Every structure is written in C-alpha cells, then in structure tokens.
Amino acid sequence: MIYIILSISCSVTVAILLKLAKRYQISIIQAVTVNYLTALILCFLFFKPDTSLISSAAPWPVYTALAILLPTIFLFLAASVKRLGIVKTDIAQRLSLFIPILAAYFIFKEDFNQYKLAGLIVGFPAIFLTFIRKSERQPTAGNWIYPIMVFVGFGVIDVLFKQIALHKALPYTTSLFVVFSMAFVVSLVVVSIMAITKKTKIQLVNLACGVILGLFNFGNILFYLKAHQALAKNPSTVFAAMNLGVIVVGSLVGVLIFKEKLSKINYLGLLLAVAAVILITLSQIYAV
C-alpha cells in the first residue's frame, strides 16, 4: 500500500503546486515545459527505455496526439485549479475514467455489467453537482470550460495510453519516454514563440518550479506502476485506492488548507463521486 500512498501524495502535490503558482506568479507554460524535460530524464533513468526498438511501425499518430494533448490539458488543469480549486478539479480529473469506459463500450464493443452502468449513472450527476457554484449570480459557463476540458482531456489521454499499451512491439515505458520527449518539444516550441514575441519572459524561478512539478508528476506515474506490480493480482484495489484517495485527500487539502468553499450540493456531488468510483471498482471485480 505504500506505493499507492506515495502515488496519491504526488498527485495531490501536483494540484497544490498548481494552486500556489498563482500566488507566486509562476509562468505555467514554462513550468510545464521543464516538467516534461524532468519527467523524460527520470523516465530514462528509472525505466531505461530501449530506444533501438523505436521504428516507423510505432503508433506515431497516437504519440503525436498525446504530445499535443498532454501539455494542453495540463494548462487547463492549472486554470481549473486556479479558478475552481483543488476539490472540483481533482473530481473532474478522477471521473474522467468514464471516457475510456464509454470508449470501451462504443468503440471496442466491451460488455457493460450492472455495476459499471450504475457507476456511470451516479457519476455524471456527481460532476454536475460538484461544479455548481450556488453563491454566483452570474453565469458560470466561463468557469465550467476548465473542469470540462480536464474531464474530457484526461479521459481521451487515458484512451490513447490504453492504445499504446495494446501495441506489444514496444514496451510501455519506451512509449512513455517517446511521448514525454515529444511533449517537451511541443511545449518548448510554444515557450520559444512566446519568448520571441515577448509574451513571456524566461525566469529561473519558473524553471525551478518546473523541475519540482516534474518530480512529483513522474513520481505519481512511477509509484502507480509499482503499485500495480506489487498488487498484480488485485488491480481493482489499486484503481479504487488511487481514485478514492485522490478525491478524499484532495478534498481535505482544498477545504482545510486552502479554505475552498463548498455548498451542500457540492458535498453531495463529492459523495456521489466516491460512490461512482466504488461502483466502477466493483464492475472490475465482478467482470465476467
């Protein structure tokens, strides 16, 4: 369980760092760029990817899509944490698991059992109730776009990573190294253009924050994979503990440390989110 605890801690820490970025006027795009550089270096050191296996037969369209989506959705994640807080953003990110579930049914023609269907039925109201801001009289469409993009974006990313996992010619960690490398290049191009057009100024503090962000971002992935290796016979345990842990710990951090305001309706949404993850976990345990 230590790996699950470490993975949860790293995931929530990433959200905390993004929350603090506004306070210290950190350039998110610069931090995200260095984050991917840090992640790919750590990926090389820990996973020792065999780059000689990379060829034209690799799933390059999937790699390219991920290279663009990862930094893009990371920016939406940061904006969501900034505008709506850690609690609502973590729930949006964790409930994005519904996207690959729906893809499995409609695209890959997998069967649904009663628990999976119940999880989806409970989960979508959870998203709606969690994001409602009762105190606001103005339309919240401008704020909704960020968690919605987090929800859809991380869901699509999950589907694409599952596609990579199905490509047996390349080890998953080698593909991960390629994706991080391409995501870094995409981010670097964006930062370079912004620097040349003077829309951003390269500062050492942003680069330092990017290294820290990359450490925890990679740590989340590393410990999650190790948890699955340690509990290879109980993948549903890892799935449930990780998703529930991030929702619960993220909520406690948001409410107790950052004093994020939640209405009774939001708390109901939080409870439904927990119930949805439990139901999806049961669907894996009782899958036939």
Rounded distance between C-alpha atoms, residue 230 and residue 275, angstroms: 26
Least confident of 3-7, 72-76, 77-81, 229-233: 229-233
pLDDT at 139 over 80: no
Q: Is 90 exceeded by the pLDDT of residue 228?
A: no
Q: What is the pLDDT of residue 140?
A: 55
* Residue 16: count of CB within 10 angstroms of its CB: 17
Q: What is the pLDDT averaged over residues 218-238?
A: 89
Tell me the whole-structure pTM to 2 decimals: 0.90
Q: Which one-letter amino acid corresponds to residue 151? A: F
Reported confidence tier of residue 69, pLDDT bands at 50, 70, 90: very high
CA distances from 78 to 240, 262, 263 (A): 25, 19, 22
- Say how far apart CA 268 and CA 71 lie, in whole Å: 32
265 vs 22, which has greater pLDDT?
265
pLDDT at 216 over 70: yes
Q: What angle do CA 192, 193, 197 make, to 5 degrees?
A: 115
Pairwise CA distance, residues 11 & 126, whole Å = 21
CB of 94 within 8 A of CB of 150?
no
d(CA 59, CA 64): 9
pLDDT of 133 higher than 80: no
Position 107 scores a pLDDT of 76
Q: Around Cβ 190, how many Cβ atoms within 10 Å?
A: 18
Q: Tokens 């500062």 identify what position?
A: 203
| Token couple for 35 | 């984050």
| Per-residue pLDDT band at 239 (split at 50, 70, 90) | confident
> CA torsion 36→127→268→255, rounded to 10°?
30
What is residue 138's predicted lDDT score, i.e. its pLDDT? 45
Among 16-20, 85-89, 179-183, 237-241, whose mean pLDDT is lowest?
237-241
Contacts of 231 (CB under 8 A, 6+ apart): 237, 238
| The pLDDT value given to residue 213 | 96
